[in-house]
Amino acid sequence: MGYKVVVAGATGNVGREMLNILAERQFPTDEVVALASRRSLGTEVSYGDKTLKTKDIEGFDFSGYDIALFAIGSEATKKYAPIAASQGCVVIDNSSLYRYDPEIPLVVPEVNPEAVEQYGKKNIIANPNCSTAQLVVALKPLHDRARIKRVVVSTYQSVSGAGKEGMDELWEQTKAVYNPTAEVPPKKFTKEIAFNVIPHIDVFLDDGSTKEEWKMTAETKKILDPSIKLTATCVRVPVFVGHSEAVNIEFEEFLDEDEARDILREAPGIMVVDKREAGGYISPKECVGDYATFISRIRQDSTIENGINLWCVSDNLRKGAALNAVQIAETLGNRCLKKG
């Protein structure tokens, strides 16, 4: 006996990935329904070797369905998630709407799988921000060994984090560089993204940080440990898919780089590729389509007493969004719903 699953936002980048990953990981389903807005009604999407036609989310009856994976943005989620939850369907939400609600678990299964057991308060589980998800996967096993005091992270985030419009803007602006008669002014981003980097993701806050940077701090504390101090600089780069992060970690006790490398090699969800030679590391292009969070450039930081530097790369549409949501569904099923 499998699960009856709904994917809301099935025509978007993340929704399509959710369907792909449900099929790839052979999540036990009796029925899968693809939902979209009315303007996308009837659009065909792939689920394994099947083709699904999208149904209208407006007025959809969620009763009788076990799990709904939401990838529809905060505004639409605010309207439809409470409806689905009230009808007995557990919502796993990819938007930022519920991440900071103390009654709603924020889950990365490699880090805090036990948190899914708190889903019953509102029948909703939150999926973290894409840049946070890969970071805490890397931090968790090291924190268990030497206890993290402080993290300094600089992100190099791909345009797919801004949706299809971000990917289209990079593509069109890149073409325009080679065809100077065509001008493509910034719309999705604040400056031209082609052949450029933009140190600005989401809105600015009063203290000068951006909301993306604040998210990484707040979510790391909620998922991993509220005592960890974290400061972030989040940067958009002209890469289609795959987020990269340069991470500096200060521990309460000394951790040797070789031991850190061994710990990460044994940790769930992580692939270590760390050779001190040309090409002995992973770039974002190489991580696309993969489940793993890749760790490279592991080395001691001699400028502080107990410091390690590392490079962390992951497919943001997968571990940063769709994969993590499906892993939450798997964890929820194994720990709580127990079907399949």
The C-alpha atoms of residue 188 and residue 236 are separated, in whole angstroms, by: 12
The C-alpha atoms of residue 200 and residue 262 are separated, in whole angstroms, by: 35
334 is in an annotated binding site: no
3-state class of 84 per DSSP? helix
13 is in an annotated binding site: yes
40 is in an annotated binding site: yes
200 is catalytic: no
199 is in an annotated binding site: no
| Contact residues for 220 (Cβ-Cβ < 8 A; gap 6+) | 132, 135, 136, 139, 151, 228, 230
Given the structure tokens 């990819």, which residue do they identify? 94
12 is in an annotated binding site: yes
Report H helices in the chain: 13-24, 73-86, 130-146, 163-178, 211-223, 257-266, 284-287, 323-332
- From the candidates 89, 243, 287, 312, give the one annotated as an active-site residue: 243
64 is in an annotated binding site: no
236 is in an annotated binding site: yes
CA-CA-CA-CA torsion for 275, 279, 281, 283, nearest 10 degrees?
180
- From the candidates 89, 130, 234, 312, give the one annotated as an active-site residue: 130
316, 9 contact by CB (below 8 A): no
209 is in an annotated binding site: no
131 is in an annotated binding site: no
180 is in an annotated binding site: yes
Binding residues for phosphate: 99
Binding residues: 11-14, 39-40, 99, 157, 160-161, 180, 236, 316
Active centre residues (catalytic): 130, 243
Binding residues for NADP(+): 11-14, 39-40, 160-161, 180, 316
